[in-house]
Amino acid sequence: MSGRTRLGVGSGVLAVVTTVYLRVVRPWQLTWGATQAEVAAAMPGDELVARPVFDATRAITIQAPPAAVWPWLVQVGVGRAGWYSYDLLDNLGRPSADRILPEHQGLTVGDVVPMSPDGTQGVTVQSMHAPNSMVWGSPGTSWAWQLEPLGHGATRLVTRIRSRPQPTPFSLAFAVLLELADIWMLRRMLLTVRRRAAD
């Protein structure tokens, strides 16, 4: 096979993979678990990122009231309760908490939800309305949580991440991470919160 033929085959494969990702995988990962109404609805924090490039709304139903789910969200972060996801990747290899940690329940507006080992890098708490909504944000990114009470003591937990990366190497790398890895981490986080809050 000549170099030109290999290049043509490679380009064709890339075109097919890109098309499948944009038409099938991306819509699924941007709306995992969420209804069309939840995706279309406004959420707290939407105003922080105008014209987002990445706009993902995910949701899950938890068999526990909002007041029982809220503490699990308030305590997240590296060096705190972890992220309830793949601990080797996002919590320095330490297991995420499997109980409510009273020492990490004092989160307030202006605090940083840590994402770095030293606790200095992360997202800042923009608003909190316990136990119904909380918004985190950093320049170009917002991350909102909404807890809607359902009948029979259950909660609909909806989360939205919106991002419009800045033209810097770090921001562009973060945008690629959001696009390719965010769904796997967040899906696992939501499933873990559902299991632990309902226990």
44-78 pLDDT, tens digit each = 999 999 999 999 999 999 999 999 999 999 999 99
Cα–Cα distance measured from residue 198 to residue 40, given in angstroms and rounded to the nearest whole number: 28
User: Please, which pLDDT band fits residue 24 given cuts at 50, 70 and 90?
Assistant: low
State CA 22 to chain mean position distance.
Answer: 20
Q: Of all helices (H) and strands (E), which one includes residue 66? A: helix 66-74
pTM: 0.86
93-128 pLDDT, tens digit each = 899 999 999 999 999 999 999 988 887 788 999 999
Q: Of all helices (H) and strands (E), which one includes residue 178? A: helix 169-198
Cα–Cα distance measured from residue 182 to residue 190, given in angstroms and rounded to the nearest whole number: 12
Beta strands in the chain (DSSP E): 54-62, 112-114, 122-129, 133-138, 141-149, 155-163
Cα–Cα distance measured from residue 114 to residue 186, given in angstroms and rounded to the nearest whole number: 16
Establish how many alpha carbons lie within 13 A of residue 148's alpha carbon, considering only the half-sphere containing its beta carbon: 11
User: Please, which pLDDT band fits residue 4 given cuts at 50, 70 and 90?
Assistant: low
pLDDT of residue 15: 60
